[in-house]
Each structure stands twice: as structure tokens, then as C-alpha cells.
Amino acid sequence: MTDRAIPGWKDKTLFTPGPLTTSRTVKQAMLRDLGARDGGFLRVVAENRRMLLKAAELDPEEYDVIFLQGSGTYGVEAVLGAVPRDGRVLVVNNGAYGARMARICAVAGINHTVLAYPENLPANPADIEIALMDEPAITHVAVVHLETTSGLVNPIDEIGAIAARHEKQYFVDAMCSFGAVPVDFAKARIDWLVSSANKCLEGVPGFTFVIARLDCLRGSKGNARSLSLDLHDQWEYYGRVGQFRFTPPVQSLLAFHQAMVELEAEGGVAGRAARYRGNFETLLAGMRAMGFAEYVPAEHQGYIITTFMCPDDPSFDFNVFYDRLSLRGYDIYSGKVAEGNCFRIGNIGRIFQEDMEDLLAAIRDTLRAMGVGTLNR
Ligand SMILES: Cc1ncc(COP(=O)(O)O)c(C=O)c1O
């Protein structure tokens, strides 16, 4: 049963990159008070770790999960902060989150080299190979899997194979893909991956998590530039003491456990991928039928979030369009790419085919009410 069937439970539907619409049962899992050292709570955390490794199809002898308080950026910053002082990161930048990695490095004084692309094009693995040959001082390669800025997908398997061939550590920001876009750690040779509770796993905000290859994690001891973002310290403390170092987001971790149960009930990553892909295909067909064009070429577009160009019509004002949709109960997202007048629609979270159809009908009505006349409606 979706929340729309229960009076009072239906908030606006979020067609954003997160935080997202969550199930009623995920929200209800938070209605508890548990101490940070409570045995029941610690069992939930251990279970969350086990379920994440299962979803990633990883061996606990090879990889571990580190939960870290804060949003996704904290996890990205923690992994970059684990690069040795004499290391150097090759940062692939084709959007705001690649750019954020470079900024994190600049602020923390981490040596880095940026490989930049236009925001609607994926990284070219051949360029990574050249960059690694040109600059042997590079020790790590960092890339965003699904660039939420535009919705494009970077070729993480091909880039990982090159990084492994050159014996570099490989870091993938899978914030907006993990849990709904299959990630093959063995094929992509991933050493570090970051995601967050409130994206495709459909939990609520409160923490980020890092999945780390144990030998890389052990080798990073003492590298952190920050106490609170020291992954090795958090991992070691948890292993030794069985607790978080600092106040854990208890309710968020309880909600996450329920979210992981619901992921398994949906058929795991494959099941969630199927629902999101269906949502995306409905959205794309409906938007194209109204005359909207996408920013990212179809062959590079992921099925998580889509950037649409604003209609070239003087009656179209994105803020008015946004407000009118929001008043009707549908929250879309503004554009983030540097060039181009555009907006984004996400199709992730606890939303289904009927939500996509309702949104499309609302968009059609809103455009008509605004007098936008150039689209084929
Ligand atoms: C790919 C990617 N990386 C990093 C982040 C940063 O996450 P947060 O806003 O939770 O700090 C986001 C947020 O949407 C993202 O989509």
C-alpha cells in the first residue's frame, strides 16, 4: 500500500535527487528512543552493515562498511582525507560533485590533478590512461558514478580497470546510484565507495557510509586531516569498542534498517533498478511527448535523474512553474549545469509509475495554465 491510501500520511511527492519520499514504515521505524550503547541499537547497526555488504555482493573478509554521521559530502571528504600526505588524486570533473571533490582537496591541502569535461559528457577512459602515464605521482583516481548535476553516468568499470593496471587506488562516489544501479566491485576494482542513507536506499538523512577494501583502509591509518572524519579511527573504534566514537544518528540508523528490509523485499538492487527504470521511461516518454528535450545525450543518460531544457518560450518561467507544481504537491528540482537553462526531475525514492503519471498530468496542466504554447501538447 502506498502512503497516498492513508489519510494524513501523504506529503508532497519529491522528484528530487534527495532527500526523497520514503515509505511510511521507514518513517515509523524512527518512533523509538534508544541509547547509543543499547544492545538492540548496536545489533541494528551490525545488521545494516551485513545487509549493505550483501547488497554490494561483497565478502566481509575483503571489505567493510564505515558509517559516518553527516551528509554524503562528509563521506567523500573522509575518503579524500585518507589519501597519504605524499599522495596525489586524479579527480574526474564533469559536474558539481566532481568539482566538489576538487574543492575538498583544495581546502584540505590534498595534492590533486583535475581532468575536466563538459557537464553533459562522460569521462573518456583513454584520457585517464594518459593522465596516469603523464603524472606518475598520482596515487588515487576519484570519479562520480552518476553525476547528479546532469544525470549522466561515468564508465566506472573501464576507469577502474585502468586505475588497477597502473596500481592506483580507486574511489567511486556512488551517492546517487548505489542500491539502484548495479555496481560490480570486482569488475570495477573499487577500493573506496561512498553513498548515503537518503538516496536510492530510501532511508532518511543522517549519515553517509563508506565501503572500503580492508587492505586500503588499514593502510590509511594516520592519514586523516580531520578527527571527526577519520575513517580508520571510526572503523577501528567500532571494531574494538563496538560503538560509534561520537553521538550516532540513532533514528536514522533504525529507519535505514527498515529501508534495507524493504530493498530486499523488492528484489534487492535488481528489483529497485527495475522500478526506477520504469519510472524513468514513463517520465521520458511523457516529457518528450510534451516537446521537452534532455540535456544529456540518451546514450550517457542514467535512469535516476534527468535534466530537461527549459522551453524557449517567453511565457515559461521556471520559478512560476516550480511553485505551481509544488502547490499541487509535486516538488521537482532546479537545474545545476553551468551552461543552459534547464531543470531536473528525479524518479527515485518511494515513488511508482502512478506518481510519474500524476506528475506528467500536472506538468501538462501547469504549462497550459502558464500559456506556454510552443510544446506539442
Ligand atoms: C553524486 C553526489 N555526490 C555527492 C553529493 C553530496 O551529498 P550531500 O548533499 O548529502 O552532502 C551528492 C548529493 O546529491 C551527489 O549526488
Domain with CATH 3.40.640.10 in the chain: 24-264
To the nearest whole number, what is the mean pLDDT of the chain? 96
Each residue's pLDDT tens digit, 29-79: 999 999 999 999 999 999 999 999 999 999 999 999 999 999 999 999 999
pLDDT of residue 241: 87
Ligand 1 pocket, 148 CB below 6 A?
yes
Ligand 1 atom 14: residue of nearest CA:
17
What would the 3-class secondary structure string for 181-232 be? CCCCHHHHCCCEEEEECCCCCCCCCCEEEEEEEHHHHHHCCCCCCCCCCCHH
Q: Which residues are CB-contacts of 63 (< 8 A; sequence separation ≥ 6)?
A: 53, 56, 185, 211, 212, 213, 214
How far from 195 is each of 108, 254, 305, 309, 341, CA to CA, in Å? 21, 17, 16, 28, 29
The answer to whether the bond into 155 is cis (omega within 30° of 0) is: no
Ligand 1: centre distance to CA 17 (Å)? 8
Each residue's pLDDT tens digit, 176-235: 999 999 999 999 999 999 999 999 999 999 999 999 999 999 999 999 999 999 999 999
Pairwise CA distance, residues 39 & 31, whole Å? 17
Ligand 1 pocket, 283 CB below 6 A?
no
Atom of ligand 1 nearest to the CA of 73: 11
Looking at the DSSP bridge assignments, the partners of residue 346 are 305
pLDDT of residue 370: 97
- Pseudo-torsion of CA 92, 96, 101, 102, nearest 10°? 70
pLDDT of residue 282: 98
Average pLDDT over every residue of 264-270: 98
pTM of the model: 0.96
Q: Are 32 and 11 in contact (CB under 8 A)?
A: no
pLDDT of residue 329: 97
Ligand 1 pocket, 72 CB below 6 A?
yes
Ligand 1 pocket, 67 CB below 6 A?
no
- In the block, which residue shows the cell 501538462? 364
Mutation test of ligand 1: which of 196, 199, 201, 344 has the most ligand atoms closer than 8 Å to its C-beta? Answer: 196
Atom of ligand 1 nearest to the CA of 205: 10
Domain with CATH 3.90.1150.10 in the chain: 3-21+268-370
Q: Are 317 and 273 in contact (CB under 8 A)?
A: no
Q: Are 289 and 376 in contact (CB under 8 A)?
A: yes
The maximal CA–CA distance of the chain, rounded, in angstroms, is 65
Atom of ligand 1 nearest to the CA of 147: 1
Ligand 1 pocket, 83 CB below 6 A?
no
Q: Are 192 and 216 in contact (CB under 8 A)?
A: yes
Each residue's pLDDT tens digit, 287-332: 999 999 999 999 999 999 999 999 999 999 999 999 999 999 999 9
pLDDT of residue 308: 97
Mutation test of ligand 1: which of 101, 176, 177, 337 has the most ligand atoms closer than 8 Å to its C-beta? Answer: 176
Q: Are 140 and 172 in contact (CB under 8 A)?
A: no
pLDDT range class, residue 2, cuts 50, 70, 90: low
pLDDT of residue 339: 75
Ligand 1 pocket, 196 CB below 6 A?
yes
CATH superfamily, domain 3-21+268-370, is Aspartate Aminotransferase, domain 1 (3.90.1150.10)
Ligand 1 atom 8: residue of nearest CA:
72
- What are φ and ψ of residue 7, in 5° steps? -55, 135
Q: Are 343 and 281 in contact (CB under 8 A)?
A: no
Pairwise CA distance, residues 271 & 290, whole Å? 29
Ligand 1: centre distance to CA 95 (Å)? 11
pLDDT of residue 10: 77
pLDDT at 375 over 70: no
Each residue's pLDDT tens digit, 72-128: 999 999 999 999 999 999 999 999 999 999 999 999 999 999 999 999 999 999 999
Pairwise CA distance, residues 360 & 236, whole Å? 49
Looking at the DSSP bridge assignments, the partners of residue 198 are none
Query: Which CATH number among 3.20.20.70, 3.40.50.2300, 1.20.58.390, 3.40.640.10 corresponds to the domain 24-264?
Result: 3.40.640.10
